Structure 1
């Protein structure tokens, strides 16, 4: 029975670790590691209550001590802005007069449709403007006074 108990603990641990791939919260990973440690205990012929105690102690310890440290380490990097979000705050050059109704700017080496953030503002050709937001395929721009 000791071999069967160890096999059951290994299967449970493997299933928890595989399920972690979907959740991404690291809790199932810690429980899976606790199960694998309980499998070692069962493989050594320990009684079921010892296996359960090993699983409980190590799972709680890993969730409360290792998980927070691991999450801090994984989340240490700065979020990288991508796509339209990366263009906000960038400078653009007016190619055709930009007003509240439209115009064009060169932004990041590409020609974009543009409109002014301030409906009363009209920006002349060759002026440098700041991208305030991206609305669909249109850059909403503002020229500092």
Structure 2
């Protein structure tokens, strides 16, 4: 076996170990490029051809597989506990007045600072629906309770 074949085998093994030690796909494409360069070294002793094959196959495999891998590894974003409040009803415990920076709402037993979606004043005791969360403030609008 040629010296370059040993070098390519060592590079493939080291890159594979590095890939296995990381949580994300970091250098799998270089492992593929190393395998292609190892195969090339069987047919030619010209180092620059082997390096060109290594770089070309690594880049090509990255360009082809990266979008597929990203799509396969993307996970559905799960709402946090606070995110689950959006769409729920609440009761105003302190009148919501955007101009004065006042307002609190009780939603599912938790008191939140609140602001009105449409800048209207919402009186204490009114029922509201949570439209969004901006920072630590709920954005709400009043709803009419059906009896």
Query: TM-score scaled by structure 1?
Result: 0.62
For this pair of structures, how many residues does the alignment match?
136
Residue of structure 1 in register with 2:31 after alignment: 32
Alignment of 1:1-145 (within 5 A): 1-2=3-4, 4-10=6-12, 13-14=15-16, 17=19, 21=22, 26=25, 28-39=27-38, 47-49=45-47, 51-75=50-74, 77-84=75-82, 86-87=83-84, 89-94=86-91, 96-100=93-97, 101-106=102-107, 109-117=108-116, 118-125=118-125, 127-136=127-136, 138-144=137-143
Query: How far off is 1:5 after superposition?
Result: 1.5
Distance 2:46 2:95 in 1: 75
Query: Structure 1 unaligned runs (5+)?
Result: none
Query: How far off is 1:39 after superposition?
Result: 4.2
Distance 1:47 1:99 in 2: 78
Give SS of 1:81's match: coil
Query: How far off is 1:94 after superposition?
Result: 0.3
Distance 1:48 1:8 in 2: 18
Give SS of 2:27's match: helix
Please provide the CA RMSD for this pair: 3.6
Give SS of 2:113's match: strand
Query: TM-score scaled by structure 2?
Result: 0.62
Query: Structure 2 unaligned runs (5+)?
Result: none
Distance 1:116 1:67 in 2: 43
